[in-house]
């Protein structure tokens, strides 16, 4: 099993959920950040396409065989919509309780 941590602009939440559903990633945790890193003038705003101005993050646990198809689909989505600001991080799950 692998843990996949995905960060993205909050506006694309439904697209990410639909992708996880198509990839059969059923369980996940979601974090929503209401503010990005601020604008040039200093007032808060929703995140930009540039890291680390993401507004949302999802962590899901997937079988080893599903990691590459998930990453490929995320990469394709990122190429289609650069404003998505998508990043994905994968690591092994050593133990569970």
CA 81/CA 84 separation, integer angstroms: 6
Please tell me the distance from the alpha carbon of residue 1 to that of residue 16, in angstroms, as a whole number: 20
Query: Where in the sequence is the domain holding 85, given as residue range(s)?
Result: 1-36+49-90
Round to whole Å and give the CA distance between 88 and 5: 6
Q: Is the dihedral of CA 23, 25, 62, 34 positive or negative?
A: positive
Q: Would residue 41 count as lying in a domain?
A: no
User: What are the pLDDT digits (tens) for 41-83?
Assistant: 555 554 444 444 557 889 999 999 999 999 999 999 888 886 6
Give domain status of residue 95, yes or no: no
Rounded Cα gap, residues 53 and 60, in angstroms: 21
Q: Domain count of the chain?
A: 1
Residue 18 is assigned to a structural domain of this protein: yes
Q: Is residue 64 part of a domain?
A: yes
In a domain, 44, yes or no: no
Residue 14 lies in a domain: yes
pTM for this entry? 0.75
């Amino acid at each position: 099993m692998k843990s996949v941590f995905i960060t993205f602009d909050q506006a694309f939440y439904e697209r990410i959920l639909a992708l996880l559903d198509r990839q059969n990633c059923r369980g996940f945790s979601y974090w929503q950040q209401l503010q990005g890193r601020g604008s040039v003038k200093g007032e808060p705003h929703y995140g930009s396409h540039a890291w680390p101005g993401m507004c949302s993050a999802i962590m899901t646990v997937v079988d080893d065989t599903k990691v590459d198809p998930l990453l490929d689909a995320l990469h394709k989505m990122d190429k289609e919509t650069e404003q998505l600001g998508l990043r994905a991080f994968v690591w092994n799950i050593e133990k569970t309780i």
